[in-house]
Amino acid sequence: MGKYSRTSQRALSEALEAPDPQNLAKFLGRLPTIFNVVMFSPHGYFVQSDVLGLPDTGGQVVYILDQVRALEEELLRIKQQGLNVKPHILVVTRLIPDARGTKCNQEWEPINNTKHSTILRIPFRTEKGILNQWVSRFGIYPYLERFAQDATAKILETMEGKPGLIIGNYTDGNLVASIMAAKLGITQATIAHALEKTKYDDSDVKWKELDPKYHFSCQFTADAISMNAADFIITSTYQEIARSKDRPGQYESQTAFTLPGLYRVVSGINLFNPKFNIAAPRADQSVYFPYTEGLKRLTSFHPAIEELLYTKQDNNEHIGFLADRKKPIIFSMARLDIVKNISGLTEWFEKNKRLKSLVNLVFVTGFFNPSESKDREEMAEIKKMHALIEKYQLKGQIRWIAAQNDRNRNGGLYRCIADSKGAFVQPAIYEAFGLTFIEAMNCGLPTFATNQGGPAEINVDGVLGFHIDPNNGESRNKIADFFEKCRNDSHYWNRISKAGLERINEWKVI
């Protein structure tokens, strides 16, 4: 038992034995009451709407905003017990003057459907002044120390004192949280979302080769600092901590590794430390609900979704068309980068004649024009996708839809895919959790999810969905086998769909 605990117990004993105002105030003064909370998420375009699909901007934004609403609700519930307090939650991100039509150039933004939560944006500063343009999450490290200093000063001014809890998100947010928590002596939580070390094979031993593009030497060092400094760590699945059958866990990969010529880690993190906690994200059930719940479905979206899926003319929102709209649809939605592997899914589709004869392929991802992106990896993947479609003459069997920002319409899109008796495919080379996978299951879509990461922990292969190996092209036969079986057994699709919905409720992610 620590000194703090013994002192608190003595104060409690004195308050119970002699319940005078002085002893009671002494005891209550030692209780860790947390009502002022700060969350850090510096990278990307952190705005509440019209940004999903922009570089480095995806599920993390949705996750944090949902987290804020749930946390505020809990703090207000505690207030109802009689404590005269007002919660205050700040999400601190980067202010980007070149905001591309978003609100990223606004210092303050109240968070929708909350009373006491706000986005605060702090600019990156250099010796030459404020940095105007977006910066990749891989190139963000030179700016973080100054950002942490500026953010700390603004937070202390805004909250008129220290917050009770700091929560970091992803490597950059966790590093900034570590700097501020160490300076002010505040409880720190770490949420990795995805440790890049497990996404890129041999990224430690090849760090010199990869560093000009990804700056892994900075990233792995920052991760080691924050995960060891944190008072507690939140993960989405057990696999995020420790190994699955075929792959080490994300944090497990940090226990021992070498960056040749730089340093060697022999004891990076203690996986048995009780500060690890598993709390799976949820999908918003008011948006992502089963396709069978007809009375809840927003029919006003149906004409737009019909146009999005089936019209033949290319425009700035979709290219390609589906010549046979009677076929079911295999559907995917993700950022257009190497790890998400949308181009790999496209190649699977082209190389399996049986699969092409059974289904259409539709995916929502990125931009059509490489010049619209500022991310080098995304630009390369855009060019690759165009080359694949042209080389294999896939127009007529494939629909490429640009990134969609309207969550309610996206929920309707999932359900319309379910109406076609289609399926959702998450082909990522590695996926820590995968919110789109959960959204699809929530809507009743059978799912094919990567066996490399957290989804394999939720998805029971062959029972309520299917595991696929992104590194083995034979997995495309698994998708074809499913649709062939659905064609021969009219009840099979419904059984898998129903089992997935039951699993979602059992997993308590909604």
pLDDT given for residue 308 in this prediction:
93
pLDDT tens-digit series, residues 287-320: 999 999 988 998 889 999 999 999 999 999 999 9
pLDDT given for residue 29 in this prediction:
60
pLDDT given for residue 482 in this prediction:
96
pLDDT given for residue 243 in this prediction:
73
Mean local confidence (pLDDT), 45-64: 83
pLDDT band at 9 (very low <50, low <70, confident <90, very high): low
- Identify the DSSP state of 284: -
- 39 burial (CB, 10 Å; 0-12 / 13-18 / 19+) is buried
Does residue 3 have a pLDDT over 50?
A: no
pLDDT given for residue 13 in this prediction:
74
| 459 or 120, which is more confident | 120
pLDDT given for residue 62 in this prediction:
85
Does residue 488 have a pLDDT over 60?
A: yes
Does residue 2 have a pLDDT over 70?
A: no
pLDDT given for residue 24 in this prediction:
67
Amino acid at 345: L
pLDDT given for residue 458 in this prediction:
81
pLDDT given for residue 307 in this prediction:
94
Residue 422 gets the label, from left (phi > 0), alpha (psi -120 to 50) or beta, of beta
Helical ranges in 352-394 per DSSP H: 353-358, 376-391
pLDDT band at 14 (very low <50, low <70, confident <90, very high): confident
pLDDT given for residue 198 in this prediction:
81
pLDDT given for residue 30 in this prediction:
55
Helical ranges in 259-352 per DSSP H: 302-310, 342-351
Percent of the chain with pLDDT over 90: 65
pLDDT band at 245 (very low <50, low <70, confident <90, very high): low
pLDDT tens-digit series, residues 23-32: 666 666 655 5
pLDDT band at 430 (very low <50, low <70, confident <90, very high): confident
pLDDT given for residue 452 in this prediction:
85
Mean local confidence (pLDDT), 101-115: 94
Q: Report the distance separating Cα 375 and Cα 365, nearest Å.
A: 14
Does residue 346 have a pLDDT over 60?
A: yes
Does residue 507 have a pLDDT over 90?
A: no
- Contact present, 124 and 94 (Cβ < 8 Å): yes
- Contact present, 121 and 150 (Cβ < 8 Å): no
pLDDT tens-digit series, residues 153-170: 999 999 999 999 999 999
- Contact present, 137 and 176 (Cβ < 8 Å): no
| 280 or 301, which is more confident | 301
pLDDT band at 8 (very low <50, low <70, confident <90, very high): low
Does residue 281 have a pLDDT over 80?
A: no
Q: Report the distance separating Cα 83 and Cα 89, nearest Å.
A: 17
Mean local confidence (pLDDT), 473-487: 92
pLDDT tens-digit series, residues 359-398: 999 999 988 999 888 788 889 999 999 999 999 999 999 9
Out of 78-87, 88-97, 249-258, the most confident range is 88-97
Does residue 108 have a pLDDT over 70?
A: yes
Helical ranges in 234-367 per DSSP H: 302-310, 342-351, 353-358
| 2 or 286, which is more confident | 286
Q: Max alpha carbon distance in the chain (Å)?
A: 84
Percent of the chain with pLDDT over 70: 93
Q: Report the distance separating Cα 82 and Cα 59, nearest Å.
A: 36
Across the chain, mean pLDDT equals 89
| 407 or 82, which is more confident | 407
pLDDT given for residue 74 in this prediction:
86
CA neighbours closer than 13 Å in the CB half-sphere of residue 97: 8
